[in-house]
Structures are given as structure tokens and as C-alpha cells.
Amino acid sequence: MIRTGIGIDVHRFTPGVQMWVAGLHFPDEQLGLAGHSDGDVVCHAICDALLSAARLGDMGSNYGTSEPEWAGASGIAFLAETRRRLETAGWRIVNVAVQLIGDRPRMAAYRAEAEALLATTLGADVGLSATTTDHLGFTGRGEGLAAIATALVEQA
């Protein structure tokens, strides 16, 4: 049996916070992403897509604010734990596609590095793309970032 899943995540830009996207640190960015954790929208959207595909709930039900051990956790830590939960439930990740939506940071120069890190963490192929919204909406106004992901899993 194979299944697809989908996930979306959004975080607001905030001063005084480090920018982490797709598991990578962007120290030159003036703003970071606010959230219960590090606000890494790419990793969080992937987690939701994986949990969706395996019918294991979502990030809120797995790592909610009632679980303080996940406060401040990195996006990569969430991905590694989500992979573990899928494998425990008998699922293998086939591949993931994720798209970052927003103007900053510019991902083109870091795409290969991000894909390699995400793929190593998940033990599966990961494709990362990025787009902008023609200055429309919260991403176009530079208020935050969004990401959308799909995942394919199969019973191990």
C-alpha cells in the first residue's frame, strides 16, 4: 500500500530571532521566524505531509504545546522524530516534494545543500523548490514565509 500526504506551514518574521529554513541557518538575515520551535516552515510542512500520509495526525497532535520537550526544537529534529514515528508504525518514506513560498531568504544558492540535508535526515529523496507571490499576500508583503509539501509513503 502506498499513500500520499499534504502539509502546509506558515510562520511570521520576527526581529531578534535567527533564520532557519530547510534545516539551514541564514545568519545574514535580519529577521527570523517566530514559533513554538525554530519556525522552520519547510521542515514543518514536510512533517505534516509525512504524518498526513501515514494517518498519524499532524504536528499539533504529535508535538503540541502540551509537550514542552519540543519547545525550541530544530526543524531537523522534528523530521528525524517524524521519520522514527512513521517507521515504528510500519511506513517507509518514498519521496517528498516541498515548495517554499516567499521572498527571503533566497534559496537558489542553497537548494542542493538543503535537499541533501533533508534527504539524509529522512532517508528518502527530497525535492525543494521556491516561489514568490508577485508582492501579493503576507508573503508578498514580507510578513512571513509559507511552505507546502507532499509526501509519498509505502508500507514497509
- 33 to 24, 30, 48, 92, 95: CA distances (angstroms): 13, 11, 18, 30, 26
C-beta of 36: minimal distance to Zn ion in Å?
7
Distance of closest approach, residue 9 Cβ to Zn ion, in angstroms: 4
H or E element at residue 114 = helix 111-122
Residue number, 7 or 91, with CB nearest to Zn ion: 7
Residue whose C-beta lies closest to Zn ion: 44
Judged by beta carbon, residue 75 or residue 130, the one nearer Zn ion is 75
CB of 155 to Zn ion, least distance (A): 28
Query: Which residue lies nearer to Zn ion by CB, 9 or 115?
Result: 9
Q: What is the b/e burial string over 14-31, where b = at least 16 CB atoms within 10 angstroms of the residue's CB? A: eeebebbbbbbebeebeb
- Contact residues for Zn ion (CB under 5 A)? 9, 44
Minimum Å distance from CB 114 to Zn ion? 16
Give the type of residue at 61.
S
**Going by C-beta distance under 8 Å and a sequence separation of 6 or more, which residues neighbour residue 80?**
121
Nearer to Zn ion, 67 or 154 (CB): 67
